[in-house]
Structure 1
Amino acid sequence: MSTDPTQDPFSPYFTGPFQGIPTRTLPSDTLAFSIHLLSSATPDALQQLQASLLSLAAEWGKDYIWQRTPFSAHISPDGTHISGTLEYGDAIDDEWFAVAILLEASRRHPEAWIRVFDSDGEFLLIEAAHALPRWLSPEIAEHRVWIRQGKLWIIPYVKGGEKRISLSEALRFLEECRMEALVRDKDVEREALARTREYPAAARRHLHRARIVVPRKVAALLNARPESVAAAVEAFYIRDPVSLKALQRPREETVFPWTDTVEVTAAFTKVLFAQLKGQMWLPPFEARFPLTEEGKVDVGVKLTAGYEILLARENDVLLTSDARRSMVQDLRALLQAGLKEPTDQEIAAWPKDSDGEEWLNIDFSEFEKDLKGGNVNGGWGEAEQEGKLKKMVDRFEQFLNDDRAGLGGALHSDEEDDDMSDSELEEGEDKDVSFDEEEFERMMREMMGLPPDKDTEEILRMQAVMEAELKQAGALQEEKAPGLVEERKEKEGDSDIDDYDEERQVSLDYTLAKNLLESFKGQDGMSGPAGTLLARMGMRLPRDEPEEAAVVGKGKGKEVV
């Protein structure tokens, strides 16, 4: 089966923005639904049902901010039913809000049969998994789950019959059978629809109002199109090196320069606000954004950056949704038409309410304890930090020198027994794996600046002589480990090789620790190889602070645990 080379990021014909790296997008979490009137599906009946459904969605969703796409419904091209899709991204509440709207529509239109599913399939049954009868397995569930009159109905499986049924077969069954032939399990119904019970009131609880500082033009855009905040947050949240170029242009070429800032109240959903608030981000110098962790300014800076990224024409290729493209076109048209910026008097009359952020507070120590299965006790102080850095280096070298470590990584002491038994059981499978451990170790040592494993005394002696001559000539200045190298005591009888070995080991340990920490810092708060490797060795590093914060707290950096 051939593939389009223009869509393959590793093809020289790739038409995307970043050849060699797949374009980053949000997960394709999408809800789909279809509404069937069966024999009563006349054009007029479908149009009336569509209008009623959209009116209900507008009534319940007033002032609600959808994560990716708003609730919509359209009549199918063949004129037989109504269908719609909803991209909810990370906001699972959007999915259940849509189900609640459909459930209410089924009560108002008792003749309608409604089917809902998402990228996971029959997700209503997944929600009620522990209450399902044994016969209702995933293999036979497709097209069997329907909503009518606010209740959940299941087309039964007849022993000896077809396990899988098509949509047309399901519709034929619904049209020809009596209601008594369908299965309605109240336990399954209760569990499957539990999250829809508190709507539409629950939709209000998903919103979060926050005071933020933004340029006056952004404030005007938020006032005119408050729903656009979702698109701006998404643009910032999935930023990549290509899209960030929009922030590196001269100030006069930017759409929203950080000038004439005002404080306003912006409406988010809790998911959107958390996506902004939880991001550790150091803006590019060219953007001229203020470097501060103050909540109002920090969130405002990120939101402004999101709007700048969203409206940059070079980033249009990153818009993968029709709804997003339509939103961007609308915002550009609004700005080109001369969006009137609010005066200070107008802003003073706007609502100033804001919500508390207590719901964001999480006991991360307990959270990480649960994740890792134990508590990590740490303290403060430079002596302890040096000990932890040395432990990090020792564990990394132990990882490389562990002869038992293979594709799965180094063995932990509490895993040895289990891993040994697993290796015995899977011995046959391991023989099929081709992996040159010696070559891997050599490459890792070379990358981290560690010495080759097979250095001889003669090589070390020659290196010591060469370095001594270079130092004497002033051509070599070896980087010393500040604060970690103590003055060595003279020992009678020590050879030059012993002296060289000790100095080189300290230098290598420092270089290794320095490289690991710089690699971790380069991750910019995201996941990466350094963080993953250190976590595998039981090391947990805090997220890096901005440079200014590091200067203020010099000598009191965060602990390594």
Structure 2
Amino acid sequence: MEDNTKLATMEDTVEYHLFLIPDELRDPEKHKEILQKYIERIMTQFAPMLAPYIWQNQPFNLRYKPGKGNVPAHMFGVTKFGDNIEDEWFIVYIVKQITKEFPELVARIEDNDGEFLLIEAADFLPKWLDPDNSANRVFFQRGELCLIPAPRKPGTMSWLPTTPPTVPQALNIISTHPEEILASESIRAAVNRRIRGYPEKIQASLHRAHCFLPASIVALLKQHPRLVAAGVQAFYLRDPIDLRACRVFKTFLPETRIMTSVTFTKCLYAQLVQQRFVPDRRSGYKMPPPSHPQYRAHELGMKLAHGFEILCSKCSPHFSESKKSFMTTSPLWAGFLESLKKNDYFKGLIEGSAQYQARLEMAKNYFQLSVNRPESCLAMSPGEEILTLLQTMPFDIEELKKEEANLPPEDDDQWLDLSPDQLDQLLQEVAGKKEAEPTSKKEEQNYDLNQVSESMKAFISKVSTHKGAELPREPSEAPITFDADSFLNYFDKILGPSPHESDSDDLDEEDFECLDSDDDLDLKTEAAGEEASVKGTLNNLKSYMAQMDRELAYTSIGKSFTTQKQMESLSQTTNNNSDEEDSGAGGSVMTPVDVDLNLVSNILESYSSQAGLAGPASNLLQSMGVQLPDNSDHRPTSKPTQD
């Protein structure tokens, strides 16, 4: 994010930056200490939401990032959300809430697509905004979305740069003009609609299912439920080399399997359940027949066990001891734990109780991954973490078997199957549109088809460019244009033609009087000849066009159009085609084509052929604000027939 350059992020990755304003000159070390305290406060305050959250790939995290170039030192985080787009929008909600709780912080967020917040509100953006000038304009401040505008005219607003602002310029504008840069209500509503429902929405995104798993995996997921994501991803992204480790299981033996309840996100559950997979016979994971009442639990457990085995197979049995120190207590842990207690993270639970210990383990995992996150070279892989936990975490298989009788019921997975109506409703919710009200029969009968032809004429009259055609606007929205050539020509007509200037400066008034009058006559003759030539060309062109019309009038192309004469005599008996040809050959005047009727007839025929689905006719008319009533009979609209 240096200057106006965009971040080169990885695929399916979101980056977020938190700046402290006002951006005063401070000692770098002191500034670093201030920002690190902010990181601790933020991660502690939002721990109740972040700690139990199951991330698809990587969790929300913050770390100090020193200043570089024009970008001042700030707090920075990056999260790979993978296939679960909800992780990205949950981070948007978190960042928005951070700026609301800490008004002195300003945040910006973008992913590998760039300014995805603007993409979400694309229907409401001002016309001047495009990907080329959107850098460093979108921020969150005090929980509201801000959009730094561009000056309409240079010099009108001295505090706005004419080019995309740098980060220091943007921070200065936000701190000095917070009201002027607030994004429009429609843009903010589009973004807020996407994150509406959090934090309650977190529980709605989870799915609980029974799984027949090895006891060691059951114990792992009981204390570290987030590891289910790593197991599902390992199975979902498996390759033939990974499956070699699953021919004979070494870590998670099938003989120790027990029934348990596993909490997935809906994305993880869908990835696991939709995969078809037959285990190797040598693995020992035998499946019951599909008619078995617990077949789904056996299948899910088998797939998840394969994922965990793949994770562990990628680790060296003697991985670095320096990585194991990652699991040890950090000097920051004591202060972090005290902050959690002050923020009522443990909800009044008795210290040492089972629920207290479960939340404590969750807090430790959260601290290790989000607060005290080591460098990538020292970070443990999920497989290394699993092997380390298996060495240090005791569990009793008999106790786990006793819990089988008291498992909570599974969640219904009917949400996997969407009906067409549900899909339409989801698409309308995403688009932010309400369901269209049905049109009454009276409105259908009174529908004015002139609106179709008038809208189409207005559309065709607009000038199109390589960027596309502009749709007709309301008169109040029409841009003001100024044609300098037309303006000067208009004044020439009022003031009269300007006198011809001579190429020589030696001529005076007496010389002008002595000019030969024959030259004037020659000029007039030439002008008259040119005018006659132009008229002759136009007359010839008109005669050619008339001849073409006569030749095409009695072909299939000519007969496909409805003329004004046909509409006048539609109820009368017409002569046969041979008589018409004879009369036409006799030099009768061609009947003009009824342009409006042909236009409406063709559009209605195209609309009818769509059979109620989306198509070019309905899309074009809706973009111009014309809403046709539903075609209940789905019969093609017939044009007046010709005998």
Scaled by the length of structure 1, what TM-score is found? 0.55
Number of equivalenced pairs: 335
Given the superposition, is the C-alpha separation of residues 264 and 191 from structure 1 closer, same or farther in structure 2, using an over 3 Å criterion?
A: same
| Correspondence for 1:179 | 178
Contact 1:57 / 1:71 at 8 angstroms: preserved in 2?
no
Contact 1:61/1:203, CA 8 A, preserved across alignment: no
Alignment-derived partner of residue 75 in structure 1: 64
Question: Is residue 2:21 matched to residue 1:38?
Answer: yes
Give the direction of change, closer, same or farther, for the CA distance of 1:196–1:217 in structure 2 (3 Å limit): same
CA distance in 1, matches of 2:192, 2:149: 20
Over the matched positions of the two proteins, sequence identity in percent amounts to: 31
Tell me if structure 2 keeps the 8 A contact 1:211–1:266. Answer: yes
Partner of 2:309: 308
What is the SS of the residue equivalent to 1:193?
helix
Deviation at 1:168, TM superposition (A): 3.8
The alpha carbon displacement at 1:43 in A equals 4.1
Shift of 1:183: 4.3
1:47 and 2:36 equivalent?
Answer: yes
Correspondence 1:217 to 2:272:
no
3-state secondary structure, aligned to 2:55: coil
Corresponding position: 1:247 with 2:246: yes
- State the partner residue of 1:256: 252
Distance 1:272 1:144, change over 3 A: same
1:155/1:322 Cα in 2 relative to 1: closer, same or farther (>3 Å)? Answer: farther
Q: 2:278 aligns to what?
A: 282
Q: How does 1:50-61 map to 2 (within 5 A)?
A: 50-61=39-50
Give the Å deviation of 1:158.
2.5
Q: Cα distance, 1:237 vs. partner?
A: 0.3
Contact 1:34 1:83 (8 Å CA) reproduced: yes
Distance 1:366 1:149 in 2: 36
Measured in 2, the distance between the counterparts of 1:366 and 1:40 equals 49
- For 1:120 and 1:366, the matched residues in 2 are separated by 28
Identify which of 140, 144, 147 aligns with 1:147: 140
Instruction: Please list the CA deviations of residues 83-123 of structure 1 after superposition, one character each: whole Å capped at 9, or x if unmatched.
Output: 10111101111111111111111111111110010111111
Distance in 2 of aligned mates of 1:34 and 1:214? 41
Q: Deviations over 1:28-83 (max 9, x none)?
A: 31111001013367445423321232123321134221111111111213482111
Within the candidate set 262, 266, 273, 2:262 is matched to 266
Match for 1:61: what amino acid? L
Q: Is the 8 A contact 2:247 2:282 kept in 1?
A: yes
* Pairing 1:238–2:237 present: yes
Q: CA deviation at 1:342?
A: 3.4
**Structure 2: segments with no counterpart, 5+ residues:** 1-9, 25-30, 155-160, 320-374, 424-643
Task: Indicate if the aligned counterparts of 2:99 and 2:140 stay in contact, CA closer than 8 A.
Answer: yes
Give the whole-Å Cα distance in 1 for the aligned partners of 2:263 and 2:101. 31
User: Which residue is 1:297 aligned to?
Assistant: 298
SS of the aligned residue for 1:59 comes to: helix
**Shift in Å at residue 321 of structure 1?**
7.8
Query: Deviation at 1:236?
Result: 0.2
Instruction: Tell me how large the CA RMSD over aligned residues is.
Output: 2.9
1:361 paired to 2:417: yes
Deviation at 1:364, TM superposition (A): 9.3
**Of the candidates 99, 112, 115, which is equivalent to residue 106 of structure 1?**
99
Amino acid at match of 1:330: E
Q: Is the 8 A contact 1:217 1:341 kept in 2?
A: no
Instruction: Confirm or deny: 8 A CA contact 2:23 2:171 kept in the other structure.
Output: no
Are residue 123 (structure 1) and residue 116 (structure 2) matched?
A: yes
- Partner in structure 2 of residue 208 of structure 1: 207
1:328 matched to 2:383: yes
Aligned partner letter, 2:418: I
**Residue 88 in 1 paired to residue 71 in 2?**
no
Structure 2 counterpart of 1:30, which letter? T
Secondary structure of the 1:275 match is helix
Partner of residue 126 from structure 2, selected from 115, 119, 133: 133
What residue identity is the alignment partner of 2:117?
A: L
SS of the aligned residue for 2:140 comes to strand
CA contact (8 A) 1:73 1:84 kept: yes
Give the alignment partner of residue 12 of structure 2, picking from 29, 43, 67: 29
Alignment-mate amino acid for residue 167 of structure 2: L
Summarize the Cα distance change of 1:45–1:116 in structure 2 as closer, same or farther, 3 Å threshold: same
Letter in 2 for 1:171: L
Find the aligned partners of 1:196 and 1:219 in 2 and give their Cα distance: 33
The whole-number CA distance in structure 1 between the counterparts of 2:268 and 2:80 is 15
Letter in 1 for 2:60: F
SS in structure 2 at match of 1:335: helix
Q: Which runs of 5+ in 1 are unaligned?
A: 1-26, 368-561
Aligned equivalents of 1:286, 1:222: Cα separation in 2: 26
Offset of 1:353 from its aligned partner?
3.4
Offset at 1:164? 3.6
What is the deviation of 1:341? 3.7
Q: Would the alpha carbon gap of residues 312 and 324 (structure 1) be closer, same or farther in structure 2, given more than 3 Å must change? A: farther
Q: Distance in 2 between matches of 1:122 and 1:265?
A: 40
**Aligned partner of residue 138 in structure 1, secondary structure:** coil
Say which SS state the counterpart of residue 135 (structure 1) adopts: coil
2:166 paired with 1:166: yes
Q: CA deviation at 1:242?
A: 1.1
Distance 2:379 2:275 in 1: 22
Partner letter of residue 105 of structure 1? I
Q: Structure 2: how far apart are the matches of 1:124 and 1:89? A: 18
Instruction: Indicate conservation of the 8 Å contact 1:56/1:101, yes or no.
Output: no
Larger Rg over CA atoms? 2
Deviation for aligned residue 1:287:
1.6
Alpha-carbon contact 1:139-1:163 (below 8 Å) kept: no
